[in-house]
Structure 1
Amino acid sequence: MSSSRSVTPPKGSNHSVKLFLDEEDKTQEALKTFKCLEENQYANKKLGNAKHNEFMECDCYEEFEDGTNRACDENSDCINRLTLIECVNGLCGSCGDDCQNQRFQRKQYADVAVFQTKLKGYGVRAQSDIEPHQFIYEYMGDVISEDVFRDRLVDYDQKGYQHFYFMMLQNGEFIDATAKGSLARFCNHSCNPNAYVNKWVVSGKLKMGIFAHRRILKGEEITFDYNVDRYGATAQKCYCEEPNCIGFLGGKTQTDAASLLPQNMAEALVVSVTMEKQWIKLKKQQGEKIAKSEENNINIEFVESLNPPPCGKPEDVIKVMSVLLQVEDALLARKLLQRLFNIEPNSNLHHQILKLHGYTCFVKLLQLFKEDSPMEAKILDFILKLPKTTKNGIISSQIDKEVEQIGKLNSELEGTCNKLLQKWNDFETYKRITKKDIKEASSKMVDLRRIRLPPGWEVVHENGKPMYYNAQQKTKLHQPPSGSSKTFNPRRPQTNGNLTTPKPSIKRSRLDDEEYEKQKLRRLEKEKEAIEKVKEEEREALKLKLEMENRRKSELERIIAEANRQRDVEKEQLAQSEREREEKRLKKKNHHLEHRWDKFFASFVPGLLRRYEQNEGLSHDHAKQCARDIVKILTSKELKKDVTKTPPEEPSKDKRSKVKQFTASYMDKFLIKYKKKHNN
């Protein structure tokens, strides 16, 4: 029988790792145990959609080498890649087709194989070395709603399934890889994993990918921290054999020991493993229970206790913005925004926020806090302080429409909204740099793809030529501004420090004086015409601006008058909405109480039925069904008495006695029917 061997640990690991190179490849055997999918399967079209549905372009440029487009690779500053969004052919204009930020779409999986572990069933090992943060595999399956998820939990439990393959995708949505999925379903849990799970947006859909946490050696098992409660599943022993192993998967032990936040959220909020352990230890000393919200897999009390520091460097902003673009929970959004709000005034990091799809992110956040006026005010005040840039991002994100709507509905925020709209109205709109522009710039010794500009500078298109523009300084330059740097590309040799080799100039023959004067006059006429055209355009723009101001003023007056007439109607609508929300909240609370009462009675009712199996010849299945029926009846009685009462931690002696009497009465009636049926 083959066995594993230990080797020197890779960088980032604190102990030796085991290699399983000698274990037989069981991939083909494992593929027969489930249906292998090429893409997720969705129960309906609404499932799996990212909250920001509009596709967001990056600002990288097409760069072919040896027939391969090298744009948006791991060494680039691709804003989509930094914020966990994949570029899409035909939608991401300047970076071209088939760029390097399409790992999910192109299924650029690591070389892996399935093997048989000693105690954990199948596992996944690396067939070659995997570098840190390399994409390993997509976790695929059926994407289902929470109701279907809970039904399947019960169904799989009744069928006696030992392994569950559920992964939360977002609030109320789960991936079930039990019957259908990918090889990623065989990745086992470890208390000291070498991989992690990250959520990406791909063509408007959310995808879960497994990535290397550190360098993974050829033959090493690939593991990640499941980091989820097992939703009532029986606790199982953990066989990861790590020094920090907590001993069990699932049940109370796993709930108490699991991370309080998913990894990407913890990094964005500057939460370390040590901080989590100290907090858990303190709560246990105080005798308090530790639980995570089923909606978003976080510990709410722990998050509320955090006071994260301001972002101090570009890496901090990247981590915060990547989570903010996907966050659905208001509490997490508040804590992350706190890091942005407290950035030092006039910091270059404000430019970084805008670059990382900032306006699109703020549209999403304003919608998230649409019923929280104080938070809306803080966000609007922060946006008002952001530096000037081009108007392109405002138009593409449609944040101006969102702000205008807020101003109409909330009189307290109307002033701030009008200031923002007025500020944006002065921004200039420029045409985006195209592939043609890049080729023209290259012929003039300027490689736009290899210029890293200082904060606040952008490359824009004006009069058919690329230019460098700083909206804050109102400055346009034909050459890169001071402070620019040429990013080094290891794939391309450099010559004399230049990115492109200058072409030899061509000397033109001197014209005679008469022809020279004619050309000079023609040139002056064209310049005069161009100046007049610019002045005319400025006059038209000013006229249009005044007309827009008058229309806006008239529209605001009409809205105020209409608001006064409709005030009573709106108050009634708000009151009705509040009543509906309260009814929804009570319904959800009652459902939660019903579940807790079921769990309370289920803790001891089945034990009362064992004697009927032993003495009355009742089958185990019938006894189990009777226990369920009795639990449901008892729960219904408790809720009829008091819909707000919660069950005690342990049943009292009196409660046990009453339940025992009820059970005996119920079983007497049931046995009469049962024996009559079976005797016949």
Structure 2
Amino acid sequence: MSSRSPSPVATKKFDAYEDKTQEALATFENLEECSYALKRLGSAKNNEFMECDCFEDFSEGFNHACDENSDCINRLTLIECVNGLCGSCGDDCQNQRFQKKQYADIAVFQTKLKGYGVRAESDIEENQFIYEYKGEVIAEEEFRERLVEYDERNYKHFYFMMLQNGEFIDATLKGSLARFCNHSCNPNAYVNKWVVAGKLRMGIFAKRKISRGEEITFDYNVDRYGATAQKCYCEEPNCIGFLGGKTQTDAASLLPQNIADALAVSSSAEKKWIKMKKSQGLKIEKAEGNNFNIEFVESLHPSGCENPQDVTKVMSVLLQADDRLIAQKLFNRLYEIEDESLHHQVIKLHGYTCLAKLLQIFEDDLEMGQKIVSFLLKLPKTTKNGITASQIDQQVSYLKEKQKGLAEDCDELLAKWAEFETYKRIDKKDIREASNRMVDLRRIRLPPGWEIVHENGKPMYYNAQQKTKLHNPPTGSSKTFNSKPYSAKDSASRRNGTNGTKRPRLDNEEYEKNKQKRLEMEMEAIEQAKKEEMRALKGKMELENQKRNDLLRIIEEANKQRELEKEAQIKEEKEREERKLKKKKLSQTNHLEHKWNKFFASFVPNLLRKYEHENDLSHDHAKLCARDIVKILTAKELKKDLTKSPPKEPTKEKRLKVKQFTQSYMEKFLQKRKKDLRNHKQ
């Protein structure tokens, strides 16, 4: 990202100008964090947090992990580590500059022609984080409306910056001191986009070493937007003359610096291309939303990545790329890599996560799908951990079903991955337990292809491609050190002892004693790690057994409930059938009962007439008796046979039996009647 530093003779100093910081702070609302018009705005495309593989490195009360000189994969790919999410590097590592607001020492001063400006109050090193560009994060529709509104209000200065496709930071009314950094056509700072806890943040970084008193500037034409054209006062030899307006419309479509670097192209080359197009009277086609020059990007054919720095630039952009054309051009740089060490670099920098994302972007593009799968087949063997964590194997399985033409290659890739081994990562607990070992794992930089893994409670150096495991660091390993500056006195102390006195040389016997002591402590730490691992495994098994028993109990109770419900259902169906049958029988019985009643009623009343005359029986009493006799006779017939219907005409035998029953019934009835009458008279 850096460029050649300008000659010290050309550097202007403004440290003699009055400090106007407090005065400038009164002109806007100073934000601690960006505000978001909508909750979804500012979210990174790849919102899943990615851990680095650095190790916790505490000394003198500070965690030196993930510093500027480390190989922290998060730092290299512009992702900040987050406490509680990065497992091995520990809390409060050195890759938390946005979160901890580790800003450079700056001040606001009044320039002669450009309004306020920002200067360095102390020297700023190359690539050092200077300040975060904060403001209100708004959608593109709101951005367009505010452009017009601010122009109508005759605002002299504009403070818009694109965050990502369709989203902008507006620092006009609410922002940070970074809003006062002026434009220069030859700037000493640049803007870079970082991912911090799932949100995109824009930071200003030193493009070169900036001396105390220098004004801090960056290129607005790449990073900022305005409504009205303004004269540029940067006074640089390459000055384009104006900012904003029509000039800004063309210039602002330049590729962002990090994308241009990843594509190995300079902004000056793109400006020449724009100038050539305009001189030919040709219309420049812009990408919708991203606002870059499509034809220019299509004309680029960058060579493959040639060194780790190239890979880092490409991977940091690809992880957040949302445009297919940009993603395709960047992937082509990776595709042309032949050096195995650079392939390892791709894997290290969240390669599987990035390539899984590309498979999603190009899932409907057979040619790109073929190239991505071919590239994955070329990658060297590693542990299976990265494949499982990124879920790229699931994405390949999906691609296999969607693109039938890639089925064979996808099967080959999945079969290759199936042979990879899974290992437990070395985490900060392992480092603490082995803190007294002869080899400090935190300070070992391994050659490409080597990883530190955990096997049977011991750290191992593992190369999947060579199928090799070592107890000691492999050939080509080197030690790394903290980047924290120290004085000559500190240096002498480190050579001679903590108090600066010369450390006495140990004799062989004492050296062997100390060596044995260190070995014993190491073995004790390993045994303790084994015990803790066994306890954890036992606890995990007990938890799994408990879960399994709970699940079996739930299944058993569910089966019992189903059986009870089934039994209840069978019982209900049986009762329903019985009621139905009973109802049917009752209906049949009622029908037969009616027939028999009718049959007996056809001749029984005639048998009672003589009793009306002989016994002074009223007609109503006779009718009641006849009705009762008919019911009794019918009941007897139904009792004998519920299915038998009466004959059409009664036989002589039937008449005789009915006559005899009627006579017997009437005799009993008349006797009872006489008795009731006597009792009544008395």
Fold-level match, TM-score > 0.5? yes
For residues 224 and 461 of structure 2, the distance between their equivalents in structure 1, rounded to whole angstroms, comes to: 55
1:422-441 Cα offsets, whole Å, 9 max, x none, are 21111111111022322344
Hey, what does 2:561 align to over in structure 1?
Answer: none
Q: Using the TM superposition, give the Cα deviation of residue 254 of structure 1 relative to its aligned residue in structure 2, in angstroms.
A: 3.8
8 Å CA contact 2:229, 2:242 repeated in 1:
yes
2:328 to 320, 329, 334: 334
For residues 139 and 513 of structure 2, the distance between their equivalents in structure 1, rounded to whole angstroms, comes to: 62
Hey, what does 2:22 align to over in structure 1?
Answer: 28
Q: Does 1:81 align with 2:75?
A: yes
Equivalent residue of 1:199, what SS? strand
Equivalent residue of 1:197, what SS? strand
- How many pairs were matched up? 496
State how 1:347-386 maps to structure 2 within 5 Å.
Answer: 347-386=340-379
**Which amino acid is the alignment partner of residue 140 of structure 1?**
K
1:257-306 Cα offsets, whole Å, 9 max, x none, are 56732111111111134533442343244232456546224211111111
8 Å CA contact 2:340, 2:380 repeated in 1:
no
For residues 40 and 437 of structure 2, the distance between their equivalents in structure 1, rounded to whole angstroms, comes to: 49
Equivalent residue of 1:348, what SS? helix
Q: Using the TM superposition, give the Cα deviation of residue 175 of structure 1 relative to its aligned residue in structure 2, in angstroms.
A: 0.6
Could you say what the CA RMSD is over the residues aligned between the two structures, in angstroms? Answer: 2.5
Q: Go from structure 1 to structure 2 and tell me whether the alpha carbon gap of 1:490 and 1:204 turns closer, same or farther (over 3 Å shift).
A: closer
For residues 517 and 131 of structure 2, the distance between their equivalents in structure 1, rounded to whole angstroms, comes to: 58
State how 1:266-281 maps to structure 2 within 5 Å.
Answer: 266-281=260-275
For residues 438 and 304 of structure 1, the distance between their equivalents in structure 2, rounded to whole angstroms, comes to: 49
Q: Using the TM superposition, give the Cα deviation of residue 61 of structure 1 relative to its aligned residue in structure 2, in angstroms.
A: 0.5
8 Å CA contact 1:255, 1:291 repeated in 2:
no
For residues 490 and 31 of structure 1, the distance between their equivalents in structure 2, rounded to whole angstroms, comes to: 34
2:179 to 170, 174, 185: 185
Q: Does 1:431 align with 2:424?
A: yes
For residues 327 and 260 of structure 1, the distance between their equivalents in structure 2, rounded to whole angstroms, comes to: 16
Q: Does 1:446 align with 2:456?
A: no
8 Å CA contact 1:194, 1:214 repeated in 2:
yes
Q: Which runs of 5+ in 1 are unaligned?
A: 1-8, 509-680
8 Å CA contact 1:229, 1:254 repeated in 2:
no
**Which amino acid is the alignment partner of residue 427 of structure 1?**
F
Q: TM-score, normalised by structure 1?
A: 0.69
Q: Go from structure 1 to structure 2 and tell me whether the alpha carbon gap of 1:205 and 1:502 turns closer, same or farther (over 3 Å shift).
A: farther
Q: Using the TM superposition, give the Cα deviation of residue 231 of structure 1 relative to its aligned residue in structure 2, in angstroms.
A: 6.6
State how 1:204-603 maps to structure 2 within 5 Å.
Answer: 204-228=198-222, 233-256=227-250, 260-290=254-284, 292-293=286-287, 295-344=289-338, 347-489=340-482, 493=494, 504-506=514-516
**Which amino acid is the alignment partner of residue 190 of structure 1?**
S
For residues 479 and 160 of structure 2, the distance between their equivalents in structure 1, rounded to whole angstroms, comes to: 47
State how 1:139-218 maps to structure 2 within 5 Å.
Answer: 139-218=133-212
**Which amino acid is the alignment partner of residue 174 of structure 2?**
K
8 Å CA contact 1:127, 1:219 repeated in 2:
yes
The answer to which structure, 1 or 2, has the higher relative contact order (CA under 8 A, 6+ apart) is 2
Q: Go from structure 1 to structure 2 and tell me whether the alpha carbon gap of 1:74 and 1:506 turns closer, same or farther (over 3 Å shift).
A: closer
For residues 216 and 43 of structure 1, the distance between their equivalents in structure 2, rounded to whole angstroms, comes to: 35
Q: Does 1:19 align with 2:13?
A: yes
Q: TM-score, normalised by structure 2?
A: 0.69
Q: Using the TM superposition, give the Cα deviation of residue 89 of structure 1 relative to its aligned residue in structure 2, in angstroms.
A: 0.4
Equivalent residue of 1:504, what SS? helix
Hey, what does 1:110 align to over in structure 2?
Answer: 104
For residues 223 and 464 of structure 2, the distance between their equivalents in structure 1, rounded to whole angstroms, comes to: 50
Q: Using the TM superposition, give the Cα deviation of residue 51 of structure 1 relative to its aligned residue in structure 2, in angstroms.
A: 0.9
Identity %: 72
1:34-66 Cα offsets, whole Å, 9 max, x none, are 111111111122111111111111111011111
State how 1:614-653 maps to structure 2 within 5 Å.
Answer: none
8 Å CA contact 2:304, 2:334 repeated in 1:
yes
1:67-111 Cα offsets, whole Å, 9 max, x none, are 000000001010000000000001101111000000000000111
Q: Using the TM superposition, give the Cα deviation of residue 11 of structure 1 relative to its aligned residue in structure 2, in angstroms.
A: 3.8
For residues 507 and 171 of structure 1, the distance between their equivalents in structure 2, rounded to whole angstroms, comes to: 60
For residues 316 and 375 of structure 2, the distance between their equivalents in structure 1, rounded to whole angstroms, comes to: 18
1:517-565 Cα offsets, whole Å, 9 max, x none, are xxxxxxxxxxxxxxxxxxxxxxxxxxxxxxxxxxxxxxxxxxxxxxxxx
Q: Which runs of 5+ in 2 are unaligned?
A: 485-490, 497-502, 504-510, 519-682
Q: Using the TM superposition, give the Cα deviation of residue 158 of structure 1 relative to its aligned residue in structure 2, in angstroms.
A: 2.2
For residues 14 and 334 of structure 1, the distance between their equivalents in structure 2, rounded to whole angstroms, comes to: 41
8 Å CA contact 2:44, 2:195 repeated in 1:
yes
For residues 231 and 112 of structure 1, the distance between their equivalents in structure 2, rounded to whole angstroms, comes to: 24
8 Å CA contact 1:126, 1:219 repeated in 2:
yes
For residues 121 and 65 of structure 2, the distance between their equivalents in structure 1, rounded to whole angstroms, comes to: 28
Q: Using the TM superposition, give the Cα deviation of residue 115 of structure 1 relative to its aligned residue in structure 2, in angstroms.
A: 1.3
2:91 to 93, 97, 103: 97
Q: Using the TM superposition, give the Cα deviation of residue 237 of structure 1 relative to its aligned residue in structure 2, in angstroms.
A: 0.8
Q: Go from structure 1 to structure 2 and tell me whether the alpha carbon gap of 1:15 and 1:362 turns closer, same or farther (over 3 Å shift).
A: farther
Q: Using the TM superposition, give the Cα deviation of residue 157 of structure 1 relative to its aligned residue in structure 2, in angstroms.
A: 2.0
Choose 91-100 or 150-159, whichever is displaced more.
Answer: 150-159
8 Å CA contact 2:54, 2:72 repeated in 1:
yes
**Which amino acid is the alignment partner of residue 215 of structure 2?**
E
Choose 475-484 or 94-103, whichever is displaced more.
Answer: 475-484
1:600-658 Cα offsets, whole Å, 9 max, x none, are xxxxxxxxxxxxxxxxxxxxxxxxxxxxxxxxxxxxxxxxxxxxxxxxxxxxxxxxxxx
